[in-house]
């Protein structure tokens, strides 16, 4: 193994790829899309509040009249006793209302029920329908309770009705309690599983495609005349790994810059105000990976100003208390080792075929564990310490995905170290096997290779 030669190959692979237009476009476009994905929904939620709606209604049931209350955006006017339902509907075009509502009886007595019919020039919005349904149901419920003629029945039922909230805390080694949300851990776990699967698959396949391109164009014959085949394989794998890390780090930095810039220019902290939906969106944005402490502080302040507590506060506290350094370091380590493991194996497959169509059969033993790790990782949040999840986080062909999915829920340091150690040793073994196959296969042309051929090359000295 010649380190100088490997360095030359790494430099060639790296510079060739980072200068491609596709690399530049992807590197700068993805952070823009991600930043927009994070911030635009917040702007939409806070700026898209519709104009006030004025609704005229007639209650022919006798259960609802006078009980529809105005809200901040929805105003009701009761025409009961002044117009019938048919008269109100006929005058719809003459009345200056956004819609008219008729409330008709469906039954009599204690089982009283109503049918609500709306008329409008434009379709009624979901927000109006939900508010109307809520208030009519409440009015009919009050009427039904009144039929029992039990004094204070409604107050009794309100007192009996429970309002149970679950508040969860995690306790660290020093005994300090921190409010937490399982939903945040679940979301981060799924996101990490998806990202690591996509990255390992994408960049390992990139190595295989590079090998196939050089082999099919016969460029490899020129390369191996001056470079050892093993050095060429190692240089190609490391070169693509450096490209992947460069792109990933640029994505992280650019996303931070763009989200921070949008926050400064648009003033999301002022726009959010007391809007719980916007606060929830900001929390989701942060948990998706931006980790912007300023955003979290603004969201927490908005929740405090609105007097809200409960699950959203737990979400924000969980996001603030996450160990982002551990997550980032673990992601980089498992990505590098997982990539090196699969890239070496994909390089061996690429050396054994003349075109990409012939790789399907040989890829199967690699895609199966990758898919298994992906699906186990997606559902690891259900039971991160179950036997299946634990073993998959140790088996090197699934551990890069599954262990990352477990880490948000808290994993002992020795387990992470053991998983990384097994993964590293497995990479060394697979790299040795792949090197032997690569050395022979890269110069084999005109024959579709099988697993039997790979075994034969592996035994050659």
Strands 168-171 and 114-119, how do they pair? Answer: unpaired
**Per the structure block, which two tokens stand in for 419?**
């998983």
> Are the beta carbons of 28 and 254 closer than 8 angstroms?
yes
Contacts of residue 71, defined as CB under 8 A and 6 or more positions apart, other chains included, come to 131
Average pLDDT rounded to a whole number, residues 342-349: 86
Please give the pLDDT value at position 106.
77
> Are the beta carbons of 276 and 53 closer than 8 angstroms?
no
Strands 53-59 and 74-78, how do they pair? Answer: parallel
Please give the pLDDT value at position 260.
72
> Are the beta carbons of 48 and 91 closer than 8 angstroms?
no
Tell me: pLDDT of 20 over 70: yes
**Per the structure block, which two tokens stand in for 193?**
């599983």
**Per the structure block, which two tokens stand in for 364?**
């199967």
Higher pLDDT, 376 or 46: 376
Average pLDDT rounded to a whole number, residues 272-288: 48
Mean pLDDT (the chain) is 76
> Are the beta carbons of 320 and 303 closer than 8 angstroms?
no
Percent of the chain clearing pLDDT 70 (strictly above): 75
DSSP per-residue codes, 284-323:
HHIIIII--HHHHHHHHHHHHHHT--SHHHHHHHHHHHS-
Please give the pLDDT value at position 307.
44
Classify the C-alpha dihedral 348-353-357-363 as positive or negative: negative
DSSP state of 80: B
d(CA 281, CA 297): 14
Average pLDDT rounded to a whole number, residues 142-146: 82
Tell me: pLDDT of 202 over 80: yes
> Are the beta carbons of 247 and 273 closer than 8 angstroms?
no
Higher pLDDT, 290 or 118: 118
Average pLDDT rounded to a whole number, residues 92-120: 76
Q: What is the pLDDT of residues 311-335, one digit of tens each?
A: 666 666 777 767 777 788 888 888 8
Dihedral (C-alpha) 242, 243, 248, 252: value to the nearest 10 degrees?
90
Helix 360-378 × helix 399-406 angle, to 10°: 10
3-state secondary structure of 12: helix
Please give the pLDDT value at position 290.
43
Q: What is the pLDDT of residues 382-441, one digit of tens each?
A: 888 888 889 999 999 999 888 888 888 888 889 999 999 999 999 888 888 888 887 777
Please give the pLDDT value at position 288.
46
Facing residues of 361 across strands?
A: none
3-state secondary structure of 60: coil
Q: Which residue has the tokens 């699969």?
A: 342
Tell me: pLDDT of 292 over 50: no
Please give the pLDDT value at position 285.
47
> Are the beta carbons of 301 and 312 closer than 8 angstroms?
no
Q: What is the pLDDT of residues 30-40, one digit of tens each?
A: 778 777 776 66
Average pLDDT rounded to a whole number, residues 60-65: 84
Q: What is the pLDDT of residues 403-412, one digit of tens each?
A: 888 888 888 8
For 292, left (φ over 0), alpha (ψ -120 to 50), or beta? beta
Tell me: pLDDT of 278 over 70: no
d(CA 301, CA 354): 61
Distance of CA 60 to the CA centre of its chain: 49
DSSP state of 386: S
d(CA 63, CA 339): 67
Classify the C-alpha dihedral 146-150-152-157 as positive or negative: negative
> Which range is least confidently modeled, 173-177, 269-273, 308-312, 397-401?
269-273
């Amino acid at each position: 193994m010649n380190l100088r030669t490997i360095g030359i190959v790494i430099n060639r692979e790296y510079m060739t790829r980072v200068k491609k237009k596709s690399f530049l476009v992807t590197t700068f476009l993805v952070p823009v899309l991600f930043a927009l994905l994070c911030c635009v929904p917040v702007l939409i939620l806070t700026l898209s509040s519709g104009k006030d709606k004025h609704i005229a209604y007639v209650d022919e049931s006798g259960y609802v009249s006078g009980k529809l209350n105005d809200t901040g955006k929805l105003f009701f006017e009761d025409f009961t006793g002044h117009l019938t339902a048919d008269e109100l509907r006929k005058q719809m075009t003459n009345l200056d209302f956004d819609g008219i509502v008729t409330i008709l009886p469906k039954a009599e007595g204690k089982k009283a029920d109503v049918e609500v019919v709306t008329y409008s020039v434009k379709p009624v919005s979901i927000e109006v329908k939900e508010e109307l349904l809520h208030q009519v149901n409440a009015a009919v419920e009050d009427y039904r309770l009144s039929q029992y003629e039990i004094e204070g029945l409604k107050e009794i039922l309100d007192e009996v009705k429970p309002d149970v909230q679950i508040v969860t805390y995690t306790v660290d080694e020093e005994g300090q309690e921190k409010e937490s949300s399982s939903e945040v851990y679940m979301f981060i776990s799924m996101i990490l599983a998806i990202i690591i699967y996509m990255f390992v698959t994408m960049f390992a396949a990139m190595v295989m495609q590079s090998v196939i391109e050089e082999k099919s164009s016969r460029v490899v014959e020129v390369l191996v005349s001056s470079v050892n085949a093993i050095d060429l394989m190692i240089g190609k794998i490391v070169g693509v790994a450096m490209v992947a890390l460069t792109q990933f780090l640029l994505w992280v930095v650019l996303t931070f810059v763009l989200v921070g810039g949008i926050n400064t220019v648009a003033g999301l902290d002022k726009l959010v105000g007391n809007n719980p939906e916007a606060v929830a969106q900001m929390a989701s944005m942060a948990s998706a990976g931006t980790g912007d402490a300023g955003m979290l502080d603004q969201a927490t302040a908005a929740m405090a100003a609105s007097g809200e507590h409960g699950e959203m506060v737990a979400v924000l506290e969980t996001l603030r208390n996450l160990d982002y350094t551990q997550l980032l370091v673990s992601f980089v380590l498992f990505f590098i080792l997982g990539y090196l493991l699969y890239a070496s194996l994909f390089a061996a497959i690429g050396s054994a075929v003349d075109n990409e169509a012939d790789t399907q059969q040989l890829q199967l033993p690699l895609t199966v564990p990758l898919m298994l790790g992906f699906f186990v990782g997606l559902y690891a949040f259900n039971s991160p310490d179950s036997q299946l999840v634990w073993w998959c986080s140790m088996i090197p062909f699934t551990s890069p995905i599954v262990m990352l999915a477990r880490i948000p829920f808290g994993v002992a340091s020795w387990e992470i170290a053991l998983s990384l150690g097994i993964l590293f040793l497995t990479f060394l073994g697979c790299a040795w096997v792949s090197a032997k196959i690569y050395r022979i296969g890269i110069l084999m042309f005109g024959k579709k290779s099988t697993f039997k051929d790979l075994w034969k090359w592996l035994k050659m000295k």
